[in-house]
Homo-oligomer: A and B are copies of this chain.
Amino acid sequence: MSSQASSPERGAGGSARREADGSARRAADGSAKRALTRGDVLDAAAAIVKEQGPRALTMRKLAAELGTAVTSIYWHVGNREELLDALVERTVADLGEIRAQGRSPATRIVSVTRALRAQLRGHPHLVAMVHERGLTERMFQPATQALVHEVHAAGLRGTQAAEVVRSLLFQVVGFVLVERNRERAPVQYPGDESLWDEATAEHDPALAKGLAAPPDPERLFLLSVRAMVEGLLGTRPRA
Asked if A188 contacts B137 (CB within 8 A), the reply is: yes
Contact pattern, A 126-157, Cβ under 8 Å of B = 1, otherwise 0: 00000111111110010011001100100001
Residue of B nearest to A184 (CB): B134
Q: Does A210 contact B (CB under 8 A)?
A: yes
> Measured between alpha carbons, how far is A167 from B1 in the docked complex, in Å?
51
Residue of B nearest to A206 (CB): B158
Asked if B174 contacts A178 (CB within 8 A), the reply is: yes
Q: A135-B188, A141-B195, A227-B231 are in contact. Are A211 and B165 (CB under 8 A)?
A: yes
Which of B171, B173, B227 meets A232, CB within 8 Å? B227
Residue of B nearest to A185 (CB): B134
Q: Does A207 contact B (CB under 8 A)?
A: yes
Q: A167-B227, A202-B149, A223-B167 are in contact. Are A137 and B192 (CB under 8 A)?
A: yes
> Measured between alpha carbons, how far is A138 from B201 in the docked complex, in Å?
15
Asked if B202 contacts A152 (CB within 8 A), the reply is: yes
Contact pattern, A 225-239, Cβ under 8 Å of B = 1, otherwise 0: 011111110000000
Closest Cβ of chain B to A188, distance in Å, is 4
Q: A163-B223, A220-B166, A228-B228 are in contact. Are A207 and B174 (CB under 8 A)?
A: no
Q: Does A190 contact B (CB under 8 A)?
A: yes
